[in-house]
């Protein structure tokens, strides 16, 4: 099975999981990326079953609009029932690396507001230790020099993602050389404390609640239960 087919199968499984939970007042958070795009296309057939969606990026907002799904501004809602998004890496604590699509800041905000965070990945992203995927970090443009030096002190090798400006008007650096990230929470906090960093792509302080992993053998579902995961199907 190609990776693209696995993403489709995963999106279908996640849709099957959320449909019974929807009601006319539900507001969903919707992530960014190719896996989430497949989910949006499927969700469009059920737009009468929920109120609206909050987008984690301009690209997602456009796709939701195109599919006739009502989009809400995050500042107009108090909480989100569910947030569905992909990831670049996930471990058995359902800690993630995200930001391959440069939308990590809004994704982290949407995740923070959501009662349930459902992550959808193909099995190439399911890893023992995070950090082989270069860690995306959104930075204020004028801080590039300073942040580069600070990250080098931590043993990382930051590479500017050329030609990319985030939805917030900032830059993205991708940090190689951090593998294995032994203490994701600690590293997330440490990076948060560097002046100039807006958001780092470690999602550990707010990890996923449920993950769907598609492999050629089928879709496995794990639930985050007190710092380690439990297979539920
Ligand atoms: C965007 C993300 C995406 O969820 C991540 O890059 C995975 O993307 P895809 O589903 O295309 O593999 O974090 O910022």
Q: Give me the pLDDT at residue 226, please.
A: 66
The residue whose C-alpha atom lies closest to atom 8 belonging to ligand 1 is 33
Q: Give me the pLDDT at residue 233, please.
A: 72
Q: How far is the CA of 103 from the centre of ligand 1 (A)?
A: 8
pLDDT tier for residue 232 given thresholds of 50, 70 and 90: confident
CB 101 less than 6 A from any atom of ligand 1: yes
Q: Give me the pLDDT at residue 227, please.
A: 61
Average pLDDT over residues 94-98: 98
Q: Which residues are catalytic?
A: 107
Question: Each residue of 54-88: pLDDT tens digit?
Answer: 999 999 999 999 999 999 999 999 999 999 999 99
Mean pLDDT of the chain: 96
Which tokens go with 72?
Answer: 């809400």
CB 98 less than 6 A from any atom of ligand 1: yes
Nearest atom in ligand 1 to 122's CA: 12
CB 167 less than 6 A from any atom of ligand 1: no
3-state helix, strand, coil in the chain (%, to 5): 35, 30, 35
Q: Give me the pLDDT at residue 228, please.
A: 67
Mutation probe of ligand 1 site: the residue of 2, 37, 101 with most atoms within 8 A of C-beta: 101
Question: Each residue of 164-207: pLDDT tens digit?
Answer: 999 999 999 999 999 999 999 999 999 999 999 999 999 999 99
User: Can you name the residues that pair with 139 across neighbouring β-strands?
Assistant: 171, 197
How far is Cα 13 from Cα 221, in angstroms, rounded to an integer? 9
Q: Looking at the predicted structure, is the pLDDT value of residue 225 above 90? A: no
Comparing CA positions, the residue from 119, 123, 86, 114 lying closest to residue 101 is 86
Q: How far is the CA of 221 from the centre of ligand 1 (A)?
A: 19
Q: How far is the CA of 172 from the centre of ligand 1 (A)?
A: 14
Q: Are 213 and 6 in contact (CB under 8 A)?
A: no
pLDDT tier for residue 231 given thresholds of 50, 70 and 90: confident
How far is Cα 28 from Cα 30, in angstroms, rounded to an integer? 6
Q: Give me the pLDDT at residue 135, please.
A: 98
Q: How far is the CA of 104 from the centre of ligand 1 (A)?
A: 9
The set of residues, in sequence order, having a beta carbon less than 8 Å from that of 2 and lying 6+ positions away, is none
Comparing CA positions, the residue from 26, 206, 13, 3 lying closest to residue 124 is 3
How far is Cα 30 from Cα 40, in angstroms, rounded to an integer? 8
CB 99 less than 6 A from any atom of ligand 1: yes
CB 87 less than 6 A from any atom of ligand 1: yes
pLDDT tier for residue 217 given thresholds of 50, 70 and 90: very high
The residue whose C-alpha atom lies closest to atom 7 belonging to ligand 1 is 87
């Amino acid at each position: 099975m190609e990776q693209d087919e696995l993403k489709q199968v995963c999106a279908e499984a996640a849709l099957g999981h959320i449909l019974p939970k929807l009601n006319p007042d539900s507001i969903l958070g919707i992530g960014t990326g190719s896996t989430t795009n497949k989910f949006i296309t499927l969700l469009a057939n059920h737009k009468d079953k929920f109120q609206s969606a909050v987008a984690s990026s301009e690209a997602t907002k456009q796709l939701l609009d195109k599919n006739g799904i009502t989009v809400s501004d995050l500042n107009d809602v108090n909480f989100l029932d569910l947030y569905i998004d992909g990831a670049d890496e996930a471990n058995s604590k359902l800690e993630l690396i995200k930001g391959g699509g440069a939308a990590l800041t809004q994704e982290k905000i949407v995740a923070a507001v959501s009662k349930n965070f459902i992550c959808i990945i193909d099995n190439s992203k399911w890893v023992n230790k995070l950090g082989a995927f270069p860690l995306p970090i959104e930075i204020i443009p004028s801080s590039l020099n300073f942040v580069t030096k600070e990250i080098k002190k931590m043993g990382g090798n930051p590479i500017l993602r050329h030609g990319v400006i985030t939805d917030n008007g900032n830059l993205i650096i991708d940090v190689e050389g951090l593998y294995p990230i032994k203490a994701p929470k600690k590293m997330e906090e440490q990076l948060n404390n560097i002046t100039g960093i807006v958001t780092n792509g470690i999602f550990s302080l707010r990890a996923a609640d449920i993950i769907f992993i598609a492999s050629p053998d089928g879709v496995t579902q794990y639930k985050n239960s007190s710092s380690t995961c439990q297979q539920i199907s």
